[in-house]
Amino acid sequence: MNNQLMDEFDLIKKYFVPISSIESQFLSNDGAVFKPKKDLDYVVSTDTIVEKIHFEGNEPPDQIAKKALRTNLSDLAAMGADPEFYSLSISLPKAKSKSFIENFVKGLKEDQKKYKIKLLGGDLTASSQLITITINIIGTVPSGQCISRSNSMVNDLLYVTGVLGLSNIGLLNLRKNDKKYSIAKLKYYLPQPRVEFSSSVRNFVTSMIDISDGFIQDCRHLARLSNLEFAINIKNLPISDIDLLSYEERLNAALIGGDDYELLFTSPPAHKEKINKIAKLHGLQITNIGHVKNGKNGQVTSNSIPINIGAYKHF
């Protein structure tokens, strides 16, 4: 673990060594060492969150830590991988360092336990103004069982986990005090990566993506990579039922709002019962929103008409 803050070594010793792993050699070396487990493939992903862009900056630091970790966990979930390790790089203004880091590490510690993931190391640097956090995450899948974005097949059913658009509704209403917004705000602050569900269904799924750029964009992405049409029924989309907003506002949030971190996946009809059973086991709502067909390849349609994202853009 390297660093450039004034009391760099002290900060690392006090806060990061206690949450580090054997593999990291308790941060005494330049890097961490691990012995790969047998018959597993390793999955690697990286996500950066920047203050004022991906988070406001005035959130409790433990919440920022969890958001940084969870957006990465969601990337692993999208590939059906089980979390193993992460590396962390933080750049933050010197003035913030101590108080920020103490609470930030508390958040990491809680999520390390929750998601069974170990800290390998990282870097702590000073920045002039804003906080930037990069996490590199490493997961595993049984050899050859990684889920890609491109293997959906004709007649596969299309599913989505959870409720869409909540995070976007939360973001747009952060300053509103009505309690009806609290679930949406919480979803914005604290994504719920579908790690365990993904691990349980990976053998029954043909393609999967986590919805981070908005349902419609990520859905098109999946359709394009399999070069098939995804026929959905917009009315079936699991949108928020919050009664402070119009149907159009809630649908719009579901279609183009970002940061949902729900899973969108395809699975052969033969596995329908199994998929539903696994979701129930995890207490997770899943919705069959359509199916895969030959047709307007690479497009997402509703009633055979390509969904025009522009129509939903400027409510």
Residue 127 binds its own copies, judged by CB under 8 A: yes
Among 14, 63, 103, 146, binds its own copies (CB under 8 A): 146
Residue 123 binds to its own copies (criterion: CB under 8 A):
yes
Distance of alpha carbon 13 from alpha carbon 217, whole angstroms: 43
DSSP 8-class letter at 20: B
Give the tokens for residue 230: 């995804």
The stretch near its own copies (CB under 8 A) out of 127-135, 173-181, 265-273, 290-298 is 127-135
Stretch that binds its own copies, among 24-32, 158-166, 243-251, 301-309 (CB under 8 A): 24-32
Phi first, then psi: give them for residue 112, nearest 5 degrees: -60, -40
Rounded Cα–Cα distance for residues 13 and 23 (Å) = 16
- Residue range at the interface with its own copies (CB under 8 A); choices 56-64, 95-103, 158-166, 204-212: 204-212
304 part of the interface to its own copies, by CB under 8 A: no
Q: Is 126 or 183 the residue whose CB approaches its own copies more closely?
A: 126
Q: Does 42 bind its own copies (CB under 8 A)?
A: yes
Residue 210 interacting with its own copies (CB under 8 A): yes
Instruction: Provide the Cα torsion 185, 191, 194, 196; round to 10°.
Output: -110
- CA quadruple 221, 217, 45, 276: dihedral sign: negative
Torsion angle of alpha carbons 108, 5, 96, 57, nearest 10°? Answer: -60
Please give the residues from 215 up to 234 whose contact with its own copies meets the rule CB under 8 A: 225
Minimum Å gap between C-beta 304 and its own copies is: 27
Angle CA(211)–CA(214)–CA(218) in degrees, nearest 5? Answer: 60
How far is Cα 84 from Cα 203, in angstroms, rounded to an integer? 20
Give me the residues that bind its own copies (CB under 8 A), please: 2, 4, 25, 28-36, 40-50, 52-54, 75-76, 78-79, 81, 85, 87-89, 91, 120-123, 125-130, 132, 134, 136-139, 141, 143, 146, 148-150, 209-210, 212, 225
